Amino acid sequence: MKNNLPTRRSILAGAAASTVLVSTGCVNLRSGLNPLLATADRTMRLLIGLHTDLFALQLLPTLVATALPLLLTNRAFAILAVTIAATILKRNAATPDPVRIYMTLDDNTMVMLNPESGAVLARIPLGQQPTLIAASPNGDFLAISNAMSHSVSIVNTADNRVSKTIPLEAGSSPYGVAVNGEGTHVYVVNEAKNSISVLDVAAGQISATINTPGSPSKIAMSPDYSLLWAPAANGTIYVIDTLSNTVSTTITGIERPVAVAFNPTGTKAYVTSAPTGRAGAVAVVDTATYAVLTRIPVGTNPYSIVLSAGGTRAFVSNFDSNSVSVIDTTTDQVASTLTTGKSPIEVAVI
């Protein structure tokens, strides 16, 4: 998948309402303002088109409105605000603070936005080409992979400052990132090294390296944080025990697995399968036996998958079909297919 995709950036948002965000490809603004306006309009129509009776759209106008000045104040070659990657930061319902959105930008920074006011509350310098963001379970810190400086930035959410930058092996090209249940260790995929580094957050260094041949890119923690799933392009899914940091089992039989999402109880894993040149599928895996229960046909080149908070819907971005497949997880069948902008990459529900 990584050979077919544009440069990737990330958005991480607090969950105050149920809103669907879909990221699309890069926007080249060198040709002037019209492409920017056209893309913003396309993105707004894209997001509105994802509205169902299960989802509210309170954040969308602010997201798009905030994107425009951010783009105009960055380089001419810029990334639209809802572009490239999206994940979820669960917000404590007892916390009175407004929802905050963290977004990596093309100028090697991350900004924090207040979606209620549209204000940029903080701008945080990171490493070169920051990509994906993962939050600790309690929301105390964020871990951001820096693809070109081969490092992971740890950002304290209390003061929005980088508390430490953890170096990786030279040429590692980090991408997928996850945090363990205690918030003591960060897992990061080294795309160029066919491995996953385990980072000790307190020590600020690599504590273990897990070999994962076959070029994994994205990783996902099980709901109880006991297992880390790492699908690889060679057709292997590495299931890693986060206590021992070893591969406990491998799953095969799913062609070109890309991304994983779990139902809330962790009994089923939904794995996107993207065979080259053919329509993709979502394989539903029994996490107790690792058997494939069923395969759900979706669009071509399905890249990202996320489940709604209640776990009743799964959303799959189909990169080459310009669509999102909505799966009813009670029947494990596609309930609807939504048309999007060009080349949807990541999808999130906030």
Name the 3-class secondary structure at 191: coil
Q: Which residue has the tokens 């945090």?
A: 179
Residues 6+ apart with CB under 8 A from 148: 127, 128, 129, 173
Alpha-carbon torsion angle 267, 188, 281, 253, nearest 10: -80
Q: What sign has the CA pseudo-torsion 166, 202, 190, 136?
A: negative
167: helix, strand or coil: strand
Q: Which two tokens stand for residue 348?
A: 């999130």
- The distance of Cα 343 from the centroid of its chain, to the nearest Å, equals 15
From first to last of its 350 residues, what are the pLDDT tens digits of the chain? 454 444 455 555 544 334 555 555 533 322 333 333 344 433 333 333 333 322 333 444 445 455 545 544 443 223 333 333 333 344 444 444 445 678 788 789 988 877 666 678 899 999 999 988 899 998 899 999 999 999 999 999 999 999 999 999 999 999 999 999 999 999 999 999 999 999 999 999 999 999 999 989 999 999 999 999 999 999 999 999 999 999 999 999 999 999 999 999 999 999 999 998 889 999 999 999 999 999 999 999 999 998 987 899 999 999 999 888 999 999 999 999 988 877 887 776 65
Distance, in Å, from the CA atom of 86 to the CA atom of 345, rounded to the nearest integer, reads 9
Give the predicted TM-score (pTM) of the model. 0.80
As assigned by CATH, the class of the 132-246 domain is: mainly beta
Instruction: Give the separation between CA 271 and CA 65, rounded to whole angstroms.
Output: 34
pLDDT for the residue 118: 60
pLDDT tens digits, 22-50:
555 533 322 333 333 344 433 333 333 33
pLDDT tens, residue by residue, 216-243: 999 999 999 999 999 999 999 999 999 9
Residue 228 β-bridge partners: 221, 240
Tokens 């400086």 appear where?
149
* CA separation, residue 134 to residues 86, 170, 321 (Å): 10, 22, 27
Domain ranges of the chain: 132-246
pLDDT at 117: 65
Distance in angstroms (rounded) separating the CA atoms of residues 338 and 317: 10
